Structure 1
Amino acid sequence: MPVPHPLLVLVDPQARHADGESVRIARDVLSAGAPGVKVCLPEGPEETARALARRGRRRPVLIGDDRALLRAVRLLHLERGLADCALAVVPVGGPGSVVLAGRLGLPLDAVRAARTVLEGRERRFDLLIDDSGGVVLGGLRIPPVREGERDAREEPGDRGEGARGPLDRYRSLVRTLARPPAPDPGPARLRVEADGVVLADLDRPVDRVSLSPGDGGLADVVVRQRSADGPLRVRARTVTVSGPHFRYRADAVVSGPVLTRTWTAHPSALCLTVPADPPAPPVLPQRQAPPGS
């Protein structure tokens, strides 16, 4: 099926440095499969923002890692073009830098990812957007985990690891064992409100707060306190966290310190090109038994 709009291919500079061969392969597949492909090689976020703002009718295709994906989504949100833009992504980056893309269902092979741009379908995802314009596609945690570390207990925001899940966990374990452990930050004094209801206050230390986009335009919220028997789980449209200079990790980016931050769930805010549904297996005719059997 022909691509309905010409493509604007944005190649993140980090992707060119990390895996130039995959970038070349993706460009070749896209150029051969769609007419009028325009390739842009921005050198930084400012040039990326200008290229996106001037895209016209061209459909943006990002070649880059999770951080580049998050920047592109935030730029589209800030220019109020996110709802009407179908974004396509070819994940390219170093080990551990395209985990979010894999969780969103994007192929991590350059050829398959480029073919998905040409032949895939559009799927809408819920987002969390904070009061500073930051976006959360997968999940958020307070306090942040270390780079490459994954919590073995519960973490909302895992949208299906697929077959790569065990391999990703193994790699994370190897990276964790290869370096000395970071000191435990200990419980934090945080006030957590979900749709105006106080879930935790400054008088009771909070061990961890996790947020992720849920279903039906609501965020999944998990608050874990050491003095409680188990985690408190709720769903809410708006979540506000405040406290003395806390940091948080949203997908691949650690932010802060901040005194307060509010996240709001936005249903179906991101339109992403994902692989088309696999075709149904063919129905084979049943063999008839020979007469007299």
Structure 2
Amino acid sequence: MYDVVLLTLGKGEDGAASCGSGGGCCGSGPADARGDCVDTPRVPVLSCADALTARGARVETVTARSNAEIDAVLARLDGPARPDGLDWPDPDGRTRLVVATASDSQLRAVMRRLVRRYAPPPSRRPADLAADRTLPDLPAIAILPLDPAGTARVGTDAPSDLAGQLGLPRDPAAVAAAVLEGRVRRLDLLRNDGGSVTLDGALVGAANEAGQPLAWRARVEVDDMVLSDGDDPLLACAIGNAGGYAEQAGVRLLSTADPTDGLVEVAVAVPVTTRSRWGRRRVRLEVRRARGRAVAVNPRDPEVPFLDDGVADTLSRKRSWWTEPGAWAVYDIDPS
């Protein structure tokens, strides 16, 4: 028998999202505006709990209103005490976690805490940690979208959130089946030197009040390849683990972002002016792409807005992202 925790993110005692910086329990911006932070379980959560109970699981629903409350749930995934004193996930644990999410930023908030719990400091790196990783295999989680239909991606019927991109079950009963009888899919994780994580991707760039992109400058490097030396005017920079920011304003930025290939795909959009044979000036958009293990963006402008898994922030100094291959995992329906 499994113990299953259904985790929902709620508002703090002051009525505001209080979990984590740069996104909080409930994410930031549009998520809070939609009232995604709740204090009572929603219908999908109750339906999923009923389906889990019917399959023989012991179920507990938890609404976390602070990082400490998230951490208390994640502690249930700990393995036996280690001689080195590090917190480490239990690969054979009987406790499973379902994260009910109204936005990818909520999922990111939980994953930030999971990484914070299990990533050892460099000075205490254990010998049994893989050479290409800075953290162990994180415990698998199930994603329960609170919006069963989701918002469709342009030109498709698939929802645009991460669960939709990955083709994960959305119906509460199907999520319950995946948790107890499905398979574990391991996925790449992006960490960055700002102390955060990226599951889907980041989009760097500014826009005016009409939504038109504004030019900015930055040096963008992917491994040893330079996409921009800092002198080019950039309209966008997409950093893709999955494909959430693959297309913007009708322009295809990312072409092959894959959260299982151990690489990050990066694209920059550069306006290029040319002249016709009659001397007329034309501006076309040049998209430069590269794939690698790490990317660094060093802005030349004072503050450049960006979105990271839907969470808004500004880039005022060099920021680097790197890939942790197969570091996190989700429960999915077994195709067999």
Q: TM class, shorter-chain normalised? A: 0.7 to 0.9
5+ unaligned residues in a row in structure 2: which ranges?
Answer: 11-35, 79-92, 120-135, 152-158, 242-257, 273-283
* Aligned counterpart for 2:64 among listed residues 38, 42, 46: 42
Shift of 1:78: 1.3
The alignment's TM-score, normalised by the length of structure 1, stands at 0.73
Secondary structure of the 1:23 match is helix
Residues 153-192 of structure 1: pairs in structure 2 closer than 5 A: 182-192=210-220
2:155 maps to 1:126 = no
- Are the counterparts in 1 of residues 8 and 41 from structure 2 also a CA contact under 8 Å? no
Secondary structure of the 2:179 match is helix
Q: What residue in structure 1 maps to residue 205 of structure 2?
A: 143
AA of the residue aligned to 1:251: D
2:118 maps to 1:80 = yes
The alignment's TM-score, normalised by the length of structure 2, stands at 0.64
Secondary structure of the 1:225 match is strand
Distance 1:112 1:45 in 2: 29
Q: What residue in structure 1 maps to residue 269 of structure 2?
A: 224
- Are the counterparts in 1 of residues 189 and 324 from structure 2 also a CA contact under 8 Å? yes
Q: What residue in structure 1 maps to residue 278 of structure 2?
A: none
Q: State percent identity of aligned pairs.
A: 29
- Are the counterparts in 2 of residues 29 and 114 from structure 1 also a CA contact under 8 Å? yes
Distance 1:256 1:182 in 2: 19
Distance 1:98 1:189 in 2: 29
Shift of 1:17: 5.8
Secondary structure of the 1:233 match is strand
Q: What residue in structure 1 maps to residue 123 of structure 2?
A: none
- Are the counterparts in 2 of residues 18 and 93 from structure 1 also a CA contact under 8 Å? no
- Number of residues of Structure 1 aligned to a counterpart in Structure 2: 241
Distance 1:144 1:276 in 2: 42
Deviations, residues 123-167 of structure 1 (Å, cap 9, x unaligned): 011122111232222222111689xxxxxxxxxxxxxxxxxxxxx
Q: What residue in structure 2 maps to residue 269 of structure 1?
A: 327
Distance 2:160 2:49 in 1: 18
Q: What residue in structure 2 maps to residue 201 of structure 1?
A: 229
Distance 1:195 1:130 in 2: 14
In the superposition, relative to structure 1, how do residues 201 and 34 fare at CA in structure 2: closer, same or farther (>3 Å)? farther
Q: What residue in structure 2 maps to residue 12 of structure 1?
A: 9
Distance 1:29 1:145 in 2: 45
Secondary structure of the 1:217 match is coil
Shift of 1:104: 1.9
AA of the residue aligned to 2:328: L
Q: What residue in structure 1 maps to residue 108 of structure 2?
A: 70
Distance 2:175 2:160 in 1: 12
Q: What residue in structure 2 maps to residue 22 of structure 1?
A: 44
Which of the pair is proportionally richer in helix? 1
2:127 maps to 1:89 = no
Deviations, residues 213-235 of structure 1 (Å, cap 9, x unaligned): 24532111112211276311111
